[in-house]
A and B are shown apart, each in its own frame.
Chain A
Amino acid sequence: MKIVACIKQVPDTEAEVKWDIPKGALNREGMDSVTNPFDEFALEEALLTKENYDGEIVAITMGPDKAADVLRNALALTVDSVYQLTDDAFAGSDTYATASVLAAAIKKIGDVDVVFCGKQSTDGNTGVVGAFLASILDFSQLTYVSKVRSIDEAGKKIIVERAIEGGTQVVEAKLPAVVSVIKGINEPRLPNLMGIRKASKIAIPQWTADDLGLDKGKVGAAGSSTKVVEIAVPPPRGAGEILKGELEDIATTVVDKLIDLKVIK
């Protein structure tokens, strides 16, 4: 079975976010970065799938030089190969342009059965790239997956559980499929020291727009139909009042204030 894990480098949620305002994009170079937390679950699911069904894992990421770090981490976790999709022309890609680049890489890898990705990134937060990817590739679109029940490689079938509003939907789908996973689907493992040491010596192969056969006018800012025109800091919420006194009296005050809102029936 051929498995692809899509992973993204994101700013550490504790890090100060720096914007390149004229470009309407993030200044990713100047920030502490980590693997997108949701992608750690995708990577782990890829590793578990390989262990359960045999196969090979290819991890891919799209991003500037520094994004190679997340692939090195994936190598330390013993994925079989990695590709960094990187080109100045990719900068400023919107959801569609991003998914187009990832789709081109998946086509180039070829004969892929399952693509795992995280439900969303913690920087862009759009949560739609997995669905875009499935739609572009015409793969089964399996989003919000909380459990992979079984994969039948010969029968080209996968059964998953999806955590959606109001409950769990069990879906049987044809392979190939894009599976975007939620937190809690597994417990991501940590790389061991030997893995890290080994990974540090491996050169990370890069694929550019040309390598992927992509028209530079159809990726990055040039190929994106959506464009950021304004970035703003929302006004702070502002602190309200801290109630003072005995907890007994405070409880009465809180109950009265909340009942006054006429929300509680």
Chain B
Amino acid sequence: MANDVWVYIEHKDGNASPMSFEILGIGKTLAKDLGSNVCAFVIGDSVDGIAKDAIAYGASKVYTVEDGVFKGFRADAYVKAAQTLIEKYKPEIALFRGTSQGSDMAAAAAAKLQTGLCADTIGLVIDGGKLKMTRAAFGGNFTVTVVNEKAQTQIATVRPKAFAMPEKDAAAQGEVVKESVSVSEDSLHTKVVEFIPSATSVNLVEADIIISGGRGVGKAESFTMLKELADLLGGAVGASRAAVDSDWISYDHQVGQTGKTVKPKIYIACGISGAIQHLAGMRTSDCIVAINKDADAPIFKNATIGVVGDINVFVPKLIEKFKAKLNK
């Protein structure tokens, strides 16, 4: 229907994680305020299970496009399907997660529909029947609220973890609408050759606990200690730009303006001074613990708990005490 809220459900080769359904929660809230329905749309080569889960996570209707050509995510193929669906059903809003897949999809689809989008949205509300989309700019020093009054379908990507996960109700009922979109292999530009899984299995953006190291860590070897703490707590290892630029740890661990934006429940900043570029990537974490030798470090102005001390002395103490408390 014309004023429905659509949510794109991403998956990897037919496997969706609970986080794939994350934005059905905010989608449902918006649909309620518009007096419409939240609908999911899924594209892939085997989508029945994902469609069922989308209903369990709150979608009242799921539109699916299923074909062998959609095995493995490819922007051009998936966007063709998304564009066809959106042009046919003209939803009011289409939401995508602000992941690599979601951003690729949203941008390419918006381009085909000749509209801009609001990227990495952290606030979405219906105000007087209109969607207001809020995002952070300049490393979170400002928030910018955007409206889209011209487009038939307003498109946004949503920052992971910006909104609460919806509850799963396996008994929920919903309708699955199967659509077919033909995309010929010859018309496509890309082919996935292989996927090499990362050695560090924890996804920084989705981690609930992050132990991050900065310049104050002093050497690459000290990251072994942070990794030990992270493993003990079931968390991931992050880093500031200074640590990455010193070659102590690889770029995929970098948090901040030129790295990843994270929002864990616990962020332990070890030897990180707290430059605005770093704060940009982690300031919305629930609980920030800062450990730094310099009592004047700006990180303390943003920390929930501050510890003035040498991380090479303090972190081993934390590890020892966590081990005792957690019986590990």
Contact = CB atoms under 8 A, between A and B. Distances in A.
B314 A247 contact: yes
B217 interface: no
B100 A125 contact: no
B144 A173 contact: no
Nearest to B197: A167
Nearest to A119: B258
A227 interface: yes
A254 B305 contact: yes
A125 B151 contact: no
Given A159-B193, A170-B195, A233-B141, A224 B116 contact: yes
A168 B265 contact: no
A38 B190 contact: no
A172 B192 CA distance: 6
A127 B283 CA distance: 20
A228 B145 contact: yes
Given A165-B203, A233-B143, A251-B318, 18 more contacts: A95-B116, A95-B117, A123-B137, A131-B107, A134-B75, A162-B100, A166-B198, A170-B196, A184-B250, A226-B118, A226-B147, A229-B146, A231-B145, A243-B307, A247-B314, A251-B321, A259-B325, A261-B265
A187 B192 CA distance: 27
B111 A131 contact: yes
Contacts of A184: 244, 250-251
A134 B108 CA distance: 8
Contact of B258 (A37, A168, A258): A37
Interface of A: 11, 13, 17, 19, 24, 37-38, 94-97, 99, 122-136, 139-144, 159, 162-174, 177, 182-184, 224-234, 237, 239-243, 247-248, 250-252, 254-259, 261, 263-265
Interface string B271-304: 0000011000001001111000001000011111
A264 B116 contact: no
A254 B317 CA distance: 10
Interface of B: 12, 75-76, 79, 99-101, 103-104, 106-112, 114-120, 132, 135-151, 157, 189-198, 201, 203, 205, 208-209, 233-234, 244, 250-252, 254, 257-259, 265-266, 276-277, 283, 286-289, 295, 300-309, 313-314, 317-318, 320-322, 325-326
Q: Give the interface SS of chain A, mostly helix, strand, loop or mixed.
A: mixed
Q: Give the interface SS of chain B, mostly helix, strand, loop or mixed.
A: mixed
B273 to A, nearest CB: 14
Contacts of A96: 110-111, 114-117
Given A165-B99, A255-B325, A140 B189 contact: yes
